């Protein structure tokens, strides 16, 4: 009865490196969402994906950030050339098809930039 699986749980990168965060949705869920949580703040929406499609990326920074949800495999949030301000917890959520279905969250990836 696996929930939303995210890995790694913790990721440390130096400034300028790339960070790749993975998310496997719950079984039967075809919708994936990424949120970012800065310290002492609530979660902020970044992007909404379905298989092979980005539906809404209005919350993603225009540069350095990208997301995908391929036909096979997990969803990936990719941050290129990381900067200190990218340090945050990144949460993935998934939901099944259908209006009003609640989003279920993973345990997050805590990204630290040195």
Partner 1 sequence: GEDVEQSLFLSVREGDSSVINCTYTDSSSTYLYWYKQEPGAGLQLLTYIFSNMDMKQDQRLTVLLNKKDKHLSLRIADTQTGDSAIYFCAEGRTYKYIFGTGTRLKVLA
Q: Is 4 in the site for partner 1 (CB under 8 A)?
A: yes
Strands, E assignment, 29-87: 31-37, 43-50, 53-56, 65-68, 75-79
Q: Is 90 in the site for partner 1 (CB under 8 A)?
A: no
**Contact predicate 21/11, CB 8 Å:** yes
Q: Is 69 in the site for partner 1 (CB under 8 A)?
A: no
User: Mapping DSSP to helix (H, G, I), strand (E, B) and coil, where does residue 11 land?
Assistant: strand
Show the binding pattern over residues 23-62: x = contacts partner 1 (CB under 8 A), - = does not: --------x-x-x----xxxxxx--x------xx--x---
Residue position matching structure tokens 């440390």:
12
- Binding residues for partner 1, per CB under 8 A? 4, 6, 31, 33, 35, 40-45, 48, 55-56, 59, 91, 93, 95, 100, 102-108
């Amino acid at each position: 009865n696996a929930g939303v699986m995210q890995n790694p749980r913790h990721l440390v990168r130096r400034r300028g490196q790339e960070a790749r965060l993975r998310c496997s949705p719950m079984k039967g869920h075809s919708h994936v969402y990424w949120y970012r949580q800065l310290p002492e703040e609530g979660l902020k929406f970044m992007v909404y994906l379905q298989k092979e499609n980005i539906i809404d990326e209005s919350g993603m920074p225009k540069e350095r950030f990208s997301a995908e949800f391929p036909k096979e495999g997990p969803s990936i949030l990719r941050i290129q050339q990381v900067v200190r301000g990218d340090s945050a917890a990144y949460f993935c959520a998934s939901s099944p098809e259908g209006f009003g279905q609640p989003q279920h969250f993973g345990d997050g990836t805590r990204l630290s930039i040195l």
